[in-house]
Amino acid sequence: MPNVIIANLQSKTIHCEDKRESLLDILLSATDWMHACGGKGRCTSCKARILTGSEHLSGKTRPEDQYAKLNKLRSDERLTCQTYISGDVTVEVPKETQLPHLNYSE
Ligand code: FES
């Protein structure tokens, strides 16, 4: 089963048990992760920067395309609630969505 590594959170590694879970659900199984709209694709607070493994991600969804057009989602970022993985992925928490009680590295 694939692994998700959060590079700027002490390289925390999460073993994905069920590929039917969204990337957000996988992340939430091991850490706190912002998700203001509850995973409905109506905000960008759940976004992650993809460092490696983008080839293992599901295709971009309509909300992601719309936020990209509004410059609220960079080309290397994905909404984790809209994304499913099929292999190992390394992500980073963008500065603007980091939570104050967690200790991120640069
Ligand atoms: S939690 Fe709002 S878009 Fe993912």
Percent of the chain with pLDDT strictly greater than 90: 94
pLDDT, tens only, 53-88: 999 999 999 999 999 999 999 999 999 999 999 999
Cα–Cα distance for residue pair 34/83, rounded to 1 Å: 15
Q: Does residue 45 line the site of ligand 1, with CB under 6 A?
A: yes
**What DSSP element (H or E) covers 68?**
helix 62-69
Q: Kindly list the domain boundaries of the chain, sorted by start residue.
A: 3-95
pTM as predicted: 0.96
Predicted pLDDT of residue 37? 98
Q: How many angstroms separate the alpha carbon of residue 55 from the centre of ligand 1?
A: 21
Predicted pLDDT of residue 65? 98
47, HSE (Cβ side, Cα atoms, 13 Å): 22
Which protein residue's CA is at the shortest distance from atom 3 of ligand 1? 41
Cα–Cα distance for residue pair 13/77, rounded to 1 Å: 19
For 9, the 3-state DSSP assignment is: coil
Cα–Cα distance for residue pair 57/78, rounded to 1 Å: 9
Superfamily (CATH) of domain 3-95:
Beta-grasp domain (3.10.20.30)
